[in-house]
Structure 1
Amino acid sequence: MDRLETRELGYFVAVARELHFGRAAATLGISQPPLSRAISQLERRMGVPLFERTSRRVTLTPAGEVFLVEAYGILDAMDRAVARARHACRSGPLLIATNPGTGSGLLRDLVAAHSGLPGGGPVKMVFTRDQAAALRAGDADVGILCAGDDLSGLDRTELATERTVALLPAGHRLAKRAAVTLADLRAEDTYRPEPPVAAVDELVDLVSVGQLIVVVGESAADRSGRAVVPVPVADLPDTLLLLAWRDGGLTEPIGAFLRAAREVTASPSR
């Protein structure tokens, strides 16, 4: 069988999503007859039926269900290839995707080590709640992620382990404790399970004036100052931080940053 074209995969996926030839055609911006002919031709070339068609409904056959999984994989791989090609032509600073709750200490050490290595250069922070998506889309070069995140399509290496702490106003009744629990925090009106999308300094300011209580990694307490107290959260595990990049997308600037990360994590002070 001849090699399939991207257009054929796109037609098949559109019909598989809609399970309706008319709606799929409208989504693709074509009329229904050529779409039906293209799917029939694809089935003849493959030698298996991909859809069961009746006057009332369209469903995937077992072969169609298997082919849909493979088609998604091929299209995702093509998206990654496009992102890598765009990245290869992009000049400028190394883009680091990180959660707003990642503290300055870890970032400072990474950036400082990176700038001192051959191949190191300027960096720029990309603050986002979905670092993995930013990497896959080519909006960032490397990202600091948690081990529990969706890491599909990404290469990674272990970076550091952090205690989980709650940032509390210095005068808060819980700030005097050796540790707090999630139940303690959930009882507070200003507690937010997810930090707002903001720089660490902004989070600290919100906590200091009593408008926010939030859980972050221990390194985020580096800039807490006297007005904010970090208190360990007893019933939350330590967080394993990873450094990740697109699968197969290891460039020289990313390699330099990886070398810097290894230098930082090997330091006795960490």
Structure 2
Amino acid sequence: METRELRYFVAVAEELHFGRAAQRLGIAQPPLSRAIGQLERRLGVALLERTSRSVTLTEAGSVLLTEGRAALDAVEAAERRARRAALAAAGSPGLVLVTKAGAAGDLLPKLLDAYAAEPGAVAVDVLLCGIGEQERLLRDGRADVALLHRPFDSTAGFDVEELRTEGQVVVLPAGHPLSARAHLRMADVTALPGLPMPRWPRLDGTYPDGPGPQVRDHAQLLQLIALGRAAAVLPESCRAFLHPDLAAVPVPDAPAVTTVIAWPPHSRSRALAGLVRAATRLQPPCLAST
């Protein structure tokens, strides 16, 4: 199976319309139809059900769509990493580190400073992303290394080193009647009247969803909390960056959050190895007190 055929099929499967898929691909519709037919004959299965009015996926087509997307992502990731390796070999080394905006904010500057002091350190570009996006950016090759947060981010398929484990707090509007409590339980948090938990971007299903407003990033989330429109359970380290109009109360029965540094297992980058070494020397994994 050729990469071109996969791209053609994924376009048709996503559009469920040959005309729109052809326009998206920048080709005429007849050769696209022929290519899909040839692919079906080669595989010996029907991928699409076609009528004069609609196109739908068969069970085999649904499987190939999922697998095809993953294969195309892997090809694009390989291309990006190959280009980056070529730049490094040509004397322009550098690393791209992706992290969720507003997360592990106290850890990131320590890591960058520690690595900068290492012999042979290279430039590190920091890519700040929305909630739940850093794993995808690492997998598709747009980043060399990431700070991920268990149990919310999947680390399957990556090499990882644990950097810090901490408890969580519920962030409330300052002056809320419960903001003076020594601690709250998750049952209290999920039942807060008028302060629903947010709805997170549905990227991989690992972020626990609530009935409240959908959020894209931490800045938006904190503003909604300050306005009295939501509450959220976040890692303890977020306290250092809360504005005076917000308050944090420990939630002892919330799951602990472990920050890890993650990278592709096949990486041979010396610069990446140096960054990981600097990260592991910062502090041993520990459970932050609440």
Which stretch has the larger CA shift, 28-37 or 41-50? 41-50
Pick aligned residue for 1:157 from 158, 161, 169: 161
In structure 2, the CA distance between the partners of 1:173 and 1:198, relative to structure 1 (3 Å rule), is: same
Tell me how far 1:107 sits from its aligned partner. 2.5
Matched, 1:35 2:53: no
Q: What is the root-mean-square deviation in Å for CA atoms of aligned residues?
A: 4.0
Distance 1:45 1:163 in 2: 54
Query: Does the CA-based 8 Å contact 2:181-2:249 persist in structure 1?
Result: yes
Distance 1:97 1:153 in 2: 17
Which stretch has the larger CA shift, 235-244 or 220-229? 220-229
In structure 2, the CA distance between the partners of 1:109 and 1:28, relative to structure 1 (3 Å rule), is: closer
1:236 aligned partner, one-letter code: A
Instruction: Report the structure number with the largest CA radius of gyration.
Output: 1
Deviations 1:175-220 (A, max 9, x none): 4322134545874878874695449xxx6xx79xx66775432223
Question: Secondary structure in 2 aligned to 1:176?
Answer: coil
1:134 match: 137
Matched, 1:24 2:13: no
Pick aligned residue for 1:248 from 262, 266, 290: 266
Which stretch has the larger CA shift, 54-63 or 154-163? 54-63
1:145 match: 148
Tell me how far 1:10 sits from its aligned partner. 1.7
1:79 match: 76
2:280 match: 262
Q: TM-score, normalised by structure 2?
A: 0.69
Distance 2:181 2:127 in 1: 34
Query: Does the CA-based 8 Å contact 1:179-1:232 persist in structure 2?
Result: yes
Superposition pairs of residues 1-270 of structure 1, within 5 angstroms:
4-61=1-58, 63-88=60-85, 89=87, 91=92, 94-129=95-130, 130-147=133-150, 148-151=152-155, 154-167=158-171, 173-181=177-185, 183=188, 187=192, 193=198, 197-198=218-219, 215-222=233-240, 230-246=248-264, 248-249=266-267, 251-266=269-284
Task: List runs of 5+ in structure 1 lacking aligned partners.
Answer: none
Question: Secondary structure in 1 aligned to 2:258?
Answer: strand
In structure 2, the CA distance between the partners of 1:152 and 1:24, relative to structure 1 (3 Å rule), is: farther
Deviations 1:201-258 (A, max 9, x none): xx6xx79xx6677543222334669997643123422112222234534522221121
Distance 1:228 1:61 in 2: 51
The sequence identity of aligned pairs, in percent, is 43
Query: Does the CA-based 8 Å contact 1:8-1:42 persist in structure 2?
Result: yes
Deviations 1:51-86 (A, max 9, x none): 444445444455444444442332121111122124
Distance 2:267 2:245 in 1: 43
Distance 1:239 1:268 in 2: 11
| Structure with more of its chain in helix, by fraction | 1
Query: Does the CA-based 8 Å contact 1:195-1:215 persist in structure 2?
Result: no
Question: Secondary structure in 1 aligned to 2:282?
Answer: helix
Tell me how far 1:138 sits from its aligned partner. 4.2
Q: TM-score, normalised by structure 1?
A: 0.73
Which stretch has the larger CA shift, 181-190 or 238-247? 181-190
Query: Does the CA-based 8 Å contact 1:103-1:222 persist in structure 2?
Result: no
